[in-house]
């Protein structure tokens, strides 16, 4: 098939899923065309089946807000027409689904029909989408898509609850490439981080408020009172500085390392014993899946789709949002006993395997085929 993919080309979960999906489809022999404003973060190599079409937005003094959505729609018209695409797959409803709708209407005037699949990733529904500013457009463009997928059952239900959606939504969860994400022998690195055999806790995110990164620091402060431990904070964003200050205020800064944005996340996860995800909202929790694939159990909230990924008492534990005491207590429970920790690690990997790329990719391929046939 010839597939067009529209996404945010950043390190964010939706961009990662879209890029990894495109790469995997290209490996299976499909021709994949990315249409974005920047080269996607993980698309920095050559493949005969992968194409990248940049969307450039002209800046005129008249425009306080350059019309990216229109530039994207125009580029999509071009790419679909001249590359003769079979399907357009847009990740994140805003503004990709509405740009695809516009492109589709324009293409119809050339006698070209292009089916559009929209994948909902989370914040496009739970934060931004609910915003009254966008709600009518989000509702309309989801209903106008030929196919709609969501990354968890919970997100599917949220979408039906928040919007007046007439379409069937297919749940296709996030996936993991176990060739890349697996436990790597990084003993020298572990020794450097935890020279006295301390347990290593880790958090990776974009440090947005929705991640409740302050809770990570507060949970860790309670854990380190009970057992020797270190905390790795990976990523960057608005809340990082707040967390740095908080760890100083709590007198635990010597045990906390802020590593900033990192490419080789799997290497950091390989030296970690426990992943903390105290998010306010999380449609799926790709970062937790990456951890589990590297044999790292998860302490998370029970928000959004997290209960579909993190299994209570098996791969980790789940607590209510803001239950710092509870998350700290369960962290210590897992970490204090060597055998118990090993069992949780095994369970985490076993469960991560269910989301292996090879299992999820055919779900997308079958869905494309269904939509193309129906349309």
Binding site for ligand GMT (CB under 6 A): 12-14, 17, 121-123, 151, 174, 206, 208, 210, 281-286
CB 13, min distance to ligand GMT, A: 3
- Judged by beta carbon, residue 12 or residue 332, the one nearer ligand GMT is 12
Structure tokens of 233?
Answer: 């904070």
- Judged by beta carbon, residue 12 or residue 297, the one nearer ligand GMT is 12
CB 215, min distance to ligand GMT, A: 14
- Judged by beta carbon, residue 221 or residue 318, the one nearer ligand GMT is 318
CB 121, min distance to ligand GMT, A: 4
Pairing state between β 2-6 and 87-91: parallel
- Judged by beta carbon, residue 112 or residue 242, the one nearer ligand GMT is 242
Contact 282, 303 (CB under 8 A): yes
3-state secondary structure the chain: CEEEEECCCCCCHHHHHHHHHHHHHHHCCCEEEEEECCCCCCCCCCCCCEEEEECCCCCCCCCCCCCHHHHHHHHHHHHHHHHCCCEEEEECCCCHHHHHHHHHHHHHCCCCCCCEEEEECCHHHHCCCCCCCCHHHHHHHHHHCCEEEECCHHHHHHHHHHCCCCCCEEECCCCECCCCCCCCCCHHHHHHHCCCCCEEEEEECCCCHHHCHHHHHHHHHHHHHHCCEEEEEECCCCCHHHHHHHHHHCCCHHHEEEEECCCCHHHHHCCCCEEEECCCCCCCCHHHHHHHHCCCCEEEECCCCHHHHCCECCCEEEECCCCHHHHHHHHHHHHCCHHHHHHHHHHHHHHHHHHEHHHHHHHHHHHHHHHHHHC
- Judged by beta carbon, residue 162 or residue 333, the one nearer ligand GMT is 162
CB 317, min distance to ligand GMT, A: 18
CB 352, min distance to ligand GMT, A: 13
CB 37, min distance to ligand GMT, A: 15
CB 248, min distance to ligand GMT, A: 25
CB 202, min distance to ligand GMT, A: 16
- Judged by beta carbon, residue 104 or residue 355, the one nearer ligand GMT is 355
- Judged by beta carbon, residue 163 or residue 284, the one nearer ligand GMT is 284
Structure tokens of 246?
Answer: 């908080």
- Judged by beta carbon, residue 220 or residue 284, the one nearer ligand GMT is 284
């Amino acid at each position: 098939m010839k597939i067009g993919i529209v996404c945010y080309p950043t390190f964010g979960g939706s961009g990662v899923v879209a890029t990894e999906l495109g790469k995997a489809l290209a490996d299976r022999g499909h021709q994949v065309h990315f249409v974005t404003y920047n080269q996607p973060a993980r698309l920095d190599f050559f493949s005969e089946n992968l194409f990248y079409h940049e969307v450039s937005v002209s800046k005129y003094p008249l425009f306080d807000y350059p019309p990216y959505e229109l530039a994207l729609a125009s580029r999509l018209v071009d790419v679909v027409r001249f590359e003769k695409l079979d399907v357009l797959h847009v990740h994140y409803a805003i503004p990709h689904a509405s740009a695809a709708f516009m492109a589709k209407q324009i293409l119809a005037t050339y006698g070209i029909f292009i089916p559009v699949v929209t994948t909902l990733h989370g914040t496009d529904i739970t934060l931004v989408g609910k915003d009254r500013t966008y709600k009518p457009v989000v509702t309309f463009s989801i209903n106008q898509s030929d196919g709609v997928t969501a990354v968890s059952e919970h997100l599917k239900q949220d979408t039906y609850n928040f919007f007046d959606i007439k379409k069937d939504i297919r749940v296709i969860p996030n996936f993991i490439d176990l060739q890349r994400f697996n436990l790597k022998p990084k003993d020298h690195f572990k020794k450097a981080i935890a020279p006295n055999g301390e347990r290593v806790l880790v958090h990776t995110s974009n440090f947005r408020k929705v991640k409740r990164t302050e809770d990570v620091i507060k949970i860790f402060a309670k854990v380190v009172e009970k057992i020797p431990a270190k905390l790795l904070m990976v990523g960057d964003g608005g809340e990082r500085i707040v967390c740095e200050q908080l760890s100083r205020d709590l007198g635990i800064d010597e045990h906390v390392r802020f590593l900033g944005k990192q490419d080789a996340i799997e290497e950091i996860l390989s030296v970690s014993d426990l992943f903390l995800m105290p998010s306010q909202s999380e449609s799926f929790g790709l970062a937790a899946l990456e951890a589990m694939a590297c044999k790292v159990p998860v302490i998370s909230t029970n928000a959004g789709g997290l209960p579909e990924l993190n299994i209570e008492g098996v791969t980790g534990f789940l607590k209510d949002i803001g239950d710092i005491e509870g998350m700290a207590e369960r962290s210590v429970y897992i970490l204090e006993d060597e055998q118990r920790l090993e069992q949780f690690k095994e369970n985490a990997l076993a469960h991560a395997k269910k989301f292996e790329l090879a299992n999820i990719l055919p779900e997308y391929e079958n869905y494309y085929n269904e939509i193309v046939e129906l349309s």
